[in-house]
Amino acid sequence: MRFSTFSVSVLPDIETARHNHNLDGLSDKDVGNVLFHQRKQRTGDSEVLPWHQLRIAAITCIDYNQGEVSLTTQSLETSNEKALLEILQQRLNLDTHLMNWGADSFTWPMITYRAMKHGLAWPDAFDLTPEDLQLSFAMTGDTDQSLDDLAKQFLLPGLRGQTRDSLWDAFVNDHWAEITRFSIDHAVNSYLLALRLHHFNGTLSTDEKHSAVRSLADHIDEVTLHSLFRAFGMKD
């Protein structure tokens, strides 16, 4: 059996906004604030940007393959957006069930749009539907279910107070570790819920599920790992 969970951290597409709105003299922070202000003027109260005004800032993929687990993560701090997208492209080229917690009308269109913007060819992407990708839909039948809320119901760590809104503050303050950590925590919680789902539907045995949890030891801190042992009814 093989499956992969992934998550992305997103930020405003400063470069395109600076070009389209003739904002060459403004800092990245000021360009972002222009976008937020314009969005609030249009909506009346929300500063949440539409997907076409965003870029991918970090990506994390967790791969489960016949008991072997690997985690891959990169951010714009050390790479570029095209390279981040190619990490996901590699998964599309593999015989794996690719899942994201909320690959709905926001996340997946944004990803495919950014891939096209960078000239990537993803023919396999058009064979995927939201139902194929959405872990939230598979588990709850609800595409709006909060990952943080459901993870905590299973005694998983959740997102530990992180939100997508906090990513902009992290970027402004050059805290790339926080931006990367958001994508990692999102992917880890998605992966753990996917283990629950695959055990429930009979595609993973109890021993395989427990082994898959232990395989995260190299990627999370010891306190969190032991809390997962308790959540999955495992011995330390």
Q: How many CB atoms lie within 10 A of CB 69?
A: 18
Domain 2-231 classification at class level:
alpha beta
The residues, ordered by sequence, that sit 6+ positions from 42 with a Cβ below 8 Å of its Cβ are none
Domain limits of the chain? 2-231
Please, what sign has the CA dihedral across residues 210, 212, 216, 217? positive
**What is this structure's pTM?**
0.90
d(CA 82, CA 120): 8
The per-residue pLDDT for 29 is 95
SS3 label, residue 193: helix
Give me the amino acid identity at 123.
Answer: P
Q: Can you point out the beta strands (E) in the chain?
A: 2-12, 54-65, 68-75, 97-99
Between 129-138, 201-210, 216-225, the lowest mean confidence (pLDDT) is in: 129-138
Paired sense of beta strands 54-65 and 68-75, if any: antiparallel
User: Given a cut of 80, is residue 10 above it in pLDDT?
Assistant: yes
The per-residue pLDDT for 209 is 92
d(CA 10, CA 206): 35
The per-residue pLDDT for 162 is 83
Q: Which residue has the tokens 């994508």?
A: 183
SS3 label, residue 144: coil
